[in-house]
């Protein structure tokens, strides 16, 4: 069946990691420290040690500890960063869960390698090596400490190394505890002095999540629609007769779905095959279109099992039907008769049907009546109505569909079966 929603590798910016300045190696990451009485340099060491982490979960834990060591502008900066990582973790978890659910429901590796990529975030690492540290200014309640450090960051098995030079500004709070409150970057810019810095950064981080949020929205919409249509199809066609169900976008438009089903035909006693197929299709159209306004088109392919001249089980295509939403909306389904389906929708039938033969005979008679100004022609003037022929070749659209399916999506089951039956070249 047609594959859809080509989900590419999720490209996620590492910029936010270079915006958060400073870090230092330490063995005290997971220890609670009484800050009262600690020197400014010792507090800064604690603050920097929390820039080392493995995975998003630990990154959030380190942010909580950093907030205890911060004040003023730097505290607000950390809050913006923390909110981003909370959203990132929640989004990643939802994407992974949805991709796995899709794989189980649709039986396709729907997201490709995206799940593995997303899981890399729980294994990302950042390690800091302090190259130099120097106190540059001090008074009773403010100290500036210059730090040169090397940052090693690893994600997706790619490692980047960068060196930064930052001056941290520490101040005493109301309890005379030193806190990291601001910084001066390597370009001499005071963090709190950059116009609208926090709002701009928050917007930048939110924008970096937009692509994944949109992908998640599409995946959830697809999953829900697939589940709904599967239930609707199952209410009309028993599961043991269903060969396959598929759902894809119409003309690559993610707001329009095409629903399809391939199933085995089972005739009813004393019911014409052609009428039975139109009855089944009418029910499928009615049940499926009513589920979701985004369903733009519904199509069915009907196959039939039979025994060949040697008694071996074979399969052949029996019918194909198709309806779009515009047609569905025009029909008064309370009064609609399924025997009229071929007058309002596409119905291709490749088998034998007495009803269809009689309908064609009636149409021929009507045509002669119109041509002869109302006079019914004598028997020998009427065209000989041949028996409904057996279709040796499938209609071009079915062959073309199968060939495109094979070439573009590497799903050649239908095309190969058509060729094996001599129905397509």
Answer whether residue 83 is part of any domain.
yes
Q: What is the pLDDT of residues 331-388, one digit of tens each?
A: 999 999 999 999 999 998 887 766 566 565 555 544 444 433 334 333 333 333 333 3
DSSP 8-state code for residue 136? E
DSSP 241-269: GEEEEEEEEETTEEEEEEEEEEEE--PPT
Instruction: Identify whether the C-beta of residue 198 lies closer than 8 Å to the C-beta of residue 72.
Output: no
- The answer on 226 and 293 residing in a single domain is yes
pLDDT of residue 408: 64
- The answer on 335 and 275 residing in a single domain is yes
Answer whether residue 303 is part of any domain.
yes
Answer whether residue 422 is part of any domain.
no
- The answer on 340 and 234 residing in a single domain is yes
The pTM assigned to this predicted structure is: 0.67
pLDDT of residue 252: 85
- The answer on 74 and 193 residing in a single domain is yes
Strands (E), 325-397: 346-349
Answer whether residue 413 is part of any domain.
no
- The answer on 197 and 53 residing in a single domain is yes
Answer whether residue 120 is part of any domain.
yes
Last residue of a domain, one of 157, 174, 208: 208
pLDDT of residue 370: 41
pLDDT of residue 77: 95
Answer whether residue 240 is part of any domain.
yes
Element housing 166 (H / E): strand 158-172
Instruction: Identify whether the C-beta of residue 164 lies closer than 8 Å to the C-beta of residue 153.
Output: no
Q: What is the mean pLDDT of the chain?
A: 80
Boundaries of domain holding 150: 15-208
Q: What is the pLDDT of residues 17-65, one digit of tens each?
A: 332 333 333 334 444 456 778 899 999 999 999 999 998 899 999 999 9
Spatial separation of the C-alpha atoms in residues 89 and 205, rounded to whole Å:
13
Strand, helix or coil for residue 24: coil
pLDDT of residue 102: 87
Strands (E), 293-386: 295-307, 313-324, 346-349
pLDDT of residue 389: 35
Q: How confident is the model at residue 215 (pLDDT cuts 50, 70, 90)?
A: confident
Q: What is the pLDDT of residues 112-154, one digit of tens each?
A: 777 777 777 788 899 999 999 999 888 889 999 999 999 999 9
- The answer on 219 and 196 residing in a single domain is no
Of 295, 298, 273, give the one whose Cα is nearest residue 284: 298
Say what percent of the chain tops pLDDT 90: 49
Give mean pLDDT, residues 106-110.
Answer: 74
Q: How confident is the model at residue 106 (pLDDT cuts 50, 70, 90)?
A: confident
Residues 6+ apart with CB under 8 A from 49: 23, 24, 25, 26, 28, 29
Residues 6+ apart with CB under 8 A from 224: none
Instruction: Identify whether the C-beta of residue 149 lies closer than 8 Å to the C-beta of residue 168.
Output: no
In the chain, how many domains are there?
A: 2
Q: How confident is the model at residue 68 (pLDDT cuts 50, 70, 90)?
A: very high
Spatial separation of the C-alpha atoms in residues 378 and 357, rounded to whole Å:
20
Last residue of a domain, one of 290, 322, 352: 352
Spatial separation of the C-alpha atoms in residues 46 and 33, rounded to whole Å:
9
- Classify the C-alpha dihedral 271-274-276-279 as positive or negative: negative
Answer whether residue 377 is part of any domain.
no
φ/ψ of residue 154, rounded to 5: -125, 130
- The answer on 236 and 117 residing in a single domain is no
| Alpha-carbon distances of 140 from 34, 121, 177, 392, rounded to whole Å | 21, 43, 12, 97
Last residue of a domain, one of 352, 368, 392: 352
Residues 6+ apart with CB under 8 A from 72: 171, 179, 181, 182, 192
Max mean pLDDT among 29-38, 86-95, 276-285 falls in: 276-285
Using the predicted structure, report yes or no on whether residue 394 has a pLDDT greater than 50: no
- The answer on 226 and 126 residing in a single domain is no
- The answer on 101 and 134 residing in a single domain is yes
Packed helices 197-207 and 72-106: angle between N→C axes, nearest 10 degrees: 10
Instruction: Identify whether the C-beta of residue 131 lies closer than 8 Å to the C-beta of residue 150.
Output: yes
- Classify the C-alpha dihedral 63-64-68-70 as positive or negative: positive
Q: How confident is the model at residue 308 (pLDDT cuts 50, 70, 90)?
A: confident
- The answer on 247 and 200 residing in a single domain is no
- The answer on 25 and 168 residing in a single domain is yes
Q: Hey, how many other C-beta atoms are within 10 angstroms of the C-beta on 344?
A: 14
Answer whether residue 94 is part of any domain.
yes
Spatial separation of the C-alpha atoms in residues 195 and 200, rounded to whole Å:
9
- The answer on 170 and 110 residing in a single domain is yes
Give mean pLDDT, residues 248-271.
Answer: 86
Which of 107-111, 213-217, 265-269, 312-316 is predicted least confidently? 107-111
Q: What is the pLDDT of residues 178-199, one digit of tens each?
A: 999 999 998 999 999 999 999 9
Spatial separation of the C-alpha atoms in residues 422 and 425, rounded to whole Å:
7
């Amino acid at each position: 069946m047609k594959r859809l929603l080509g989900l590419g590798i999720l490209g996620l910016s590492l910029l936010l990691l270079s915006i958060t300045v400073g870090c230092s190696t330490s063995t005290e990451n997971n220890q609670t420290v009484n800050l009262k009485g600690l020197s400014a340099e010792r507090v800064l060491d604690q603050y920097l040690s929390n820039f080392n982490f493995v995975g998003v979960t630990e990154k959030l834990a380190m942010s909580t500890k950093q907030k205890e060591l911060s004040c003023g502008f730097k505290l607000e900066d950390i809050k913006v960063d923390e909110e981003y990582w909370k959203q990132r973790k929640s989004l990643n978890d939802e994407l992974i869960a949805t991709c796995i659910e899709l794989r189980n429901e649709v039986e396709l590796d729907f997201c490709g390698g995206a799940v593995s990529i997303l899981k890399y975030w729980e294994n990302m690492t950042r390690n800091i090596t302090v190259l130099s540290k120097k106190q540059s200014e001090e008074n009773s309640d403010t100290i500036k400490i210059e730090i040169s450090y090397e940052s090693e960051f690893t994600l997706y098995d790619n490692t980047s190394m960068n060196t930064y030079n930052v001056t941290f500004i520490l101040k005493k709070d109301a309890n005379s505890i030193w806190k990291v409150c601001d910084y001066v970057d390597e370009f001499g810019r005071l963090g709190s002095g950059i116009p609208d810095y926090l709002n701009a950064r928050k917007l930048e981080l939110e924008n970096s999540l937009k692509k994944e949020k949109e992908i998640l929205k599409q995946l959830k919409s697809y999953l829900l629609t697939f589940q709904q249509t599967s239930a609707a199809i199952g209410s009309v066609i028993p599961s043991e007769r269903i060969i396959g169900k598929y759902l894809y976008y119409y003309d690559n438009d993610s707001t329009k779905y095409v629903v399809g089903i391939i199933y085995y035909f089972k005739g009813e006693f004393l019911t014409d095959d052609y009428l039975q197929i139109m009855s089944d299709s009418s029910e499928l159209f009615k049940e499926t279109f009513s589920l979701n306004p985004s369903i733009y088109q519904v199509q069915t392919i009907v196959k039939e099992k039979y025994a060949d001249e040697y008694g071996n089980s074979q399969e052949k295509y029996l019918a194909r039907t198709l309806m779009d939403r515009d047609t569905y909306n025009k029909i008064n389904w309370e009064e609609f008769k399924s025997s009229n389906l071929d007058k309002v929708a596409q119905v291709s039938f490749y088998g034998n049907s007495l009803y269809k033969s009689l309908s064609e005979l009636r149409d021929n008679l009507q045509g002669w009546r119109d041509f002869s100004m109302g006079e019914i022609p004598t028997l020998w003037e009427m065209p000989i109505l041949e028996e409904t022929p057996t279709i040796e070749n499938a209609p071009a659209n079915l062959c073309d569909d199968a060939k495109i399916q094979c070439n573009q999506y590497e799903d050649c089951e239908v095309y190969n079966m058509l060729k094996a039956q001599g129905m397509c070249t």
